[in-house]
A and B are shown apart, each in its own frame.
Chain A
Amino acid sequence: MTTLPAKTDKKLGLVIDLDTCVGCHACVISCKGWNTENYGAPLSDQNAYGADNSGTFLNRVHSYEVQPPGDAAAQLIHFPKSCLHCEDAPCVTVCPTGASYKRVEDGIVLVNESNCIGCGLCAWACPYGARELDQAEGVMKKCTLCVDRIYNENLPEEDRQPACVRTCPAGARHFGDLGDENSDVSKLVAERGGMDLMPEQGTKPVNKYLPPRPKDEMPEFDVLAPFLEPVAEEPKGFLGWLDKTLEKL
């Protein structure tokens, strides 16, 4: 079980658009909600109403400030992060009990919680911080790609996608088969130059991130502006005298 399949039939995963994400954290909340009420142990909170509160989340949104070289304005980029369902998932092979596995049919990386001893080694092996040991249950929790939604025939068809994708008000999250080059998500990745996180770690993530689009340059306001008389930069008269006098003090 803890060896990785040589090939999976599908590569289900997410495509996250960093250009569109507004950082509202709605995906974080819908993920916590769905995964607390459904598959596996609930996502617990510790000291939720105290000063030192913490809890288990499968999806978290960071925000980064990126300063381009030169005078260009800094960009603020919101950055949702969850399990990337890697093809060479290091979290799976380190597992001593076989609780962690990658599914052959769709490539989803899952934890069989009844076999998990909570040793934490899979979280150590994950470079992305996608796995969190639930402090109440003592087992490892991670994104299931809402395996209990995407195949769930009791749900209306439009709801058969991961909770984070379904809830995103900005349309920044996309779900599909990244192994099929004709799928919508694969086309989106090809069109927008989708990228891997930490490619040097050799994990071959299935989830892709769409980089922010280049920002527009501020256009010249008026073509005649350069020919207009410049505004006086040196103050004259009383203000000029005041300026000089204050300089001398």
Chain B
Amino acid sequence: MHPAPSVIFFTTFSGLGFGLLFFLGLGFPGVTGWTAFAFFAIAYLMAVGGLMASTFHLGRPERAIKAFTQWRSSWLSREAWCAVGALVLMGLYGLGLVFFDARWTVLGLLGALFSMATVFTTSMIYTQLKTIPRWNMKLTPVKFLSLSLAGGALLAGQVSIALVLLVIAGLVQLYTWVEGDKALNASGTNMATATGLGNIGHVRAFEPPHTGTNYLLKEFVHVIGRKHSQKLRVIALGLMTIAPIILLALPFSHVLGVLAILSHIAGVLTARWLFFAEAEHVVGLYYGKR
């Protein structure tokens, strides 16, 4: 899959933003007034910034409002509803904390629920696609949720919880890579089933339908990025989990905390780039590529 910057930014930052909103909704940290304002501002910048970035990959962004209509069948539509629900609920909850020094607990809990529902629906957009076997597994939502929670705990300054969640997220990511590498072969889709010619003999792509490139090859057949995938996996895991864990284990200071967050974000961005760049869409088989 083509690793579009807009979608990488969207999934990374909305995951972090809604992760932070989840912890704020639960009352960790239990801040009020201007401190609460600062936390909410960071969460909204990330969550809303991410959602805005996602509209950049639309061919017709001016019609984006129509995406709210098909919540009965479409995960993308459900994501839109959950995101708006979470932002409105947490906005009201934040209003109470910042300006009235009041904690409307039920509102916070509901907001936290909707925040995680948003991350879950985002992950289901990818998980539902049978055409991309690497994404089409139960581990995909587990990975998105565990990363969002780990990042949220880190941003919320919940050091002891963050340490545990970072380890979990790292292990889930590692397991996803191991399972993902087997997914295309296990799916049973190959050039023989794609062309239906497998029972005659070995199928080889002889001539593509077009001499130049096209939308399908640009969007779905991105093979360049896989060259360094093993190195990038090590870098992603190091920045995303190992470095923040070491920084948090050291005697606490705000500088180290900020470094841990920046390292984590860089790691998630790298892992998310790989999530797209490594994903093999079965349409590539028609071109003899994977």
- B contact residues around A172 at 8 Å (CB): none
Bitwise, B188-222 to A at CB < 8 A (1) or not (0) is 11000111110111111111111011111011100
| CB-CB nearest in chain B for A138 | B59
Q: Which among A54-62, A153-161, A180-188 touches the partner chain?
A: A54-62
User: In the assembly, what is the distance between CA of A140 and CA of B219, in Å?
Assistant: 13
List 18 contacting pairs A-B, 8 Å CB cutoff, sorted by A. A2-B70, A52-B212, A60-B210, A63-B206, A63-B207, A67-B201, A68-B201, A95-B73, A96-B67, A96-B69, A96-B70, A123-B219, A125-B129, A127-B194, A129-B283, A200-B187, A200-B188, A201-B189
Interface residue from A25, A64, A75, A133 paired with B215 (Cβ < 8 Å): A133
A120 touches which of B66, B196, B219 (Cβ 8 Å): B219
On B, residues with C-beta under 8 Å from A are 1, 57-61, 63-64, 66-70, 72-77, 80, 125, 128-132, 187-189, 193-197, 199-210, 212-216, 218-220, 281-283, 286-287
CB-based contact B60/A64 at 8 Å = no
Residues of A within 8 A of B287 (CB): 62
Flag whether A243 is at the interface (Cβ < 8 A): no
A-chain residues with CB within 8 Å of residue B286 when the two chains form the complex: 62, 81, 128-129
Q: Looking at the complex, which one of B60, B188, B207 makes contact with A117 (CB distance below 8 Å)?
A: B60
Max chain B CB contacts within 10 Å: which of A55, A77, A119, A209?
A119
CB-CB under 8 A for A2 and B76, given A125-B129, A126-B283: no
- Inter-chain contacts of A22 with B (CB < 8 A): none
Shortest beta-carbon distance, B193 to chain A, in Å?
5
Distance in angstroms from B167 CB to nearest chain A CB is 32
What residue of chain A has the Cβ atom nearest to residue B287's Cβ? A62
Contact status B215-A56, CB under 8 Å: yes
Which of B125, B188, B197, B216 contacts A121 (CB under 8 A)? Answer: B125
Q: How far is the CB of B79 from chain A (nearest CB, A)?
A: 8
> How long is the Cα–Cα vector from A119 to B75 in the complex, in angstroms?
13
Secondary structure of the A side of the interface?
loop
Known contacts A55-B214, A119-B57; A96/B201 CB under 8 A: no
Residues of chain B with a CB closer than 8 A to A74's CB:
201
Report which of A62, A90, A200, A202 forms a contact with B207, defined as CB distance below 8 A: A62
CB of A169 within 8 Å of the partner chain: no
Answer yes or no: A69 CB below 8 A from chain B CBs: yes
Given A79-B195, A93-B73, A124-B281, the answer on whether A200 and B60 have CB atoms closer than 8 Å is no
C-alpha gap A122/B35 in the complex (Å): 43
- With beta carbons under 8 angstroms apart, the residue of B67, B131, B195 that contacts A119 is B67
Known contacts A96-B67, A97-B66, A120-B219; A66 and B61 CB within 8 A of each other: no
Q: Which range contains the number of A residues in contact with the other chain?
A: 35 or more
| 8 Å CB contact of A54 from B69, B213, B283 | B213
B201 contacts A211, C-beta separation under 8 Å? no
Q: How far is the CB of A161 from chain B (nearest CB, A)?
A: 22
Tell me the bound Cα distance from A2 to B78 in angstroms. 13
In the complex, which residue of chain A has the Cβ closest to the Cβ of B207? Answer: A63
* A198-B63 contact in complex given A120-B57, A124-B132, A126-B131, C-beta closer than 8 Å: no
* Complex partner residue of A77 from B197, B214, B282, CB under 8 angstroms: B197
State the 10 A-B residue pairs at the shortest beta-carbon distance, nearest first.
A118-B59, A138-B59, A60-B209, A68-B201, A129-B283, A96-B76, A63-B207, A97-B66, A96-B67, A96-B77
Tell me the nearest residue of chain A to B126, going by C-beta.
A124
**Residues in A neighbouring B210, C-beta threshold 8 A:** 54, 57, 60
A162 to B208, CA, bound (A): 24
A98 to B68, CA, bound (A): 10
Q: A65-B206, A201-B189, A212-B200 are in contact. Are A132 and B66 (CB under 8 A)?
A: no
A8 to B206 Cα, complex, angstroms = 37
Closest chain-B Cβ to A216's Cβ sits at a distance in Å of: 14
Interfacial chain B residues near A197, Cβ < 8 Å? 193-196
Contact of A189 with B by CB under 8 A: no
Is A76 an interface position by the 8 A CB rule? yes
- Specify which of B1, B63, B64 lies most central, judged by the most chain A CB atoms within 10 Å of its CB: B63
A67 touches B63 (CB 8 A): no
In the complex, given contacts A94-B74, A197-B194, what are 20 additional A-B residue pairs having Cβ atoms less than 8 angstroms apart? A2-B70, A18-B197, A57-B210, A60-B210, A62-B195, A62-B208, A62-B209, A66-B204, A77-B197, A94-B129, A116-B59, A119-B76, A124-B131, A124-B219, A124-B220, A124-B281, A139-B59, A197-B195, A197-B196, A201-B189
